[in-house]
Amino acid sequence: MDLLPTEEQDEIINTVRSQLERNFDLHALAELDGANSVVDSALWKQCAELGWFGLGLPEALGGVGYTLAEEALLFAEIGTHAAPGPFLPTVLAARLAAMVGATELAAQILSGTQLVALAEPHGDTAAVAGATVSGTFRVTDFGGADLVLVLVGASAAIVAAADLVAEPLASLDRLVPTAIGTVSQIPALCYQDDASGLQLRATVLIAAELAGIATATAQQSTQYAKDREQFGTPIGSFQAVKHRCADMAVRADAANSLVRYSAIAVLDGLPDAAFHAHAARVVATNAAIENSQINVQNHGGIGFTYEHTAHRFVTRAQVRSRTVGDLRSHLGGLLEQPAAL
């Protein structure tokens, strides 16, 4: 199977990459560290105009008309640049609203005029019961949000952010603001009891972002190994460094290949699609965490400094590895969803 991007997909990648390099430079974004909101409304609307939020949504529902495969490429680039912002809940909320017929709400999300935060269970009290949401949630990107996408098990709902009582929570990644929100039977603007398809998409897209982190850190280490000299020769000539860089490249390549295949499996409705989604998530998680940590080591003393961007990938990998489930839950998913022979 050929998992390489087509020419059209390469154009999408290049367009996304150009926008991220121009407007999401990590050195410039450092001034937002610890801010309540990291979203620039004008920049967010630019992303909307480029069609990012509806890239995989059918044209009949207000989207661009591509598929999960293209969305996965978008999120891989977001991971490669460690770009902050509620990209995942925005894409998922737009799809949820469009699929249940809340067309006006979907259009507002797709246009970037309604910011969407992500809420996941914090403890055992979280529930989506019919058209109401209750419990305690861990909420990311809550500051400045108009809406909150709530994911609980196989259920999903969109609620008004004003209905949540949220307290800021210190985040490991200072560009991913986090809060703890508590609600008691608040009405949902729209909901879906059986949102397993949405959950699978979320699993693939987070895996894609993690694979992007693995790719970025492998590239960053390789470039540094070429540029940095010790004893009059590039450090990449030393076995201890070049072997680490080679292993990083292999991990990143494996993660990206699994993500692309899982996107196709989910898109085509294969009977073992859930298995491949969980597998991609597990492999991409391990690749992102290990590569980001080794990247710091490869950069030596400079890699440990706050001024360098290496630590950004370490913290982003840790946060994303605990978004829409964690390593343990996805390993459990592999056992529950055996692959088709």
pLDDT digits (tens, 9 = 90+) for 316-334: 999 999 999 999 999 998 8
Confirm if 124 and 97 have CB atoms less than 8 A apart.
no
Q: What is the mean pLDDT of residues 210-236?
A: 94
Q: What's residue 341's pLDDT? A: 47
Task: Give start-end residues of each CATH 1.10.540.10 domain in the chain.
Answer: 7-192
Residue 16 pLDDT level (bands cut at 50, 70, 90): very high
196-336 CATH:
1.20.140.10
Judged by DSSP in three states, 205 sits in: helix
Structure tokens at 174: 């200072």
pLDDT digits (tens, 9 = 90+) for 76-125: 999 999 999 999 999 999 999 999 999 999 999 999 999 999 999 998 88
Contacts of 217 (CB under 8 A, 6+ apart): 248, 252, 288, 291, 292, 294, 295, 310, 313
Residues of the chain with pLDDT > 70, as a percent, come to 99
Cα–Cα distance measured from residue 313 to residue 217, given in angstroms and rounded to the nearest whole number:
7
Q: What is the mean pLDDT of residues 6-30?
A: 94
Structure tokens at 22: 């121009």
Q: Given a cut of 70, is residue 338 above it in pLDDT?
A: no
59 or 236, greater pLDDT: 59
Q: Given a cut of 90, is residue 335 above it in pLDDT?
A: no
Task: Give start-end residues of each CATH 1.20.140.10 domain in the chain.
Answer: 196-336
Other residues' Cβ atoms within 10 Å of the Cβ of residue 42: 9
Cα–Cα distance measured from residue 165 to residue 179, given in angstroms and rounded to the nearest whole number:
10
> What's the chain's Rg over C-alpha atoms?
20
Specify the CATH architecture of the domain 7-192: Orthogonal Bundle (1.10)
Q: What's residue 339's pLDDT? A: 63
Placement of tokens 């109401």 in the chain: 132
Residue 28, CA distances (Å) to 83, 169, 326 in order: 11, 24, 30
Cα–Cα distance measured from residue 51 to residue 105, given in angstroms and rounded to the nearest whole number:
16
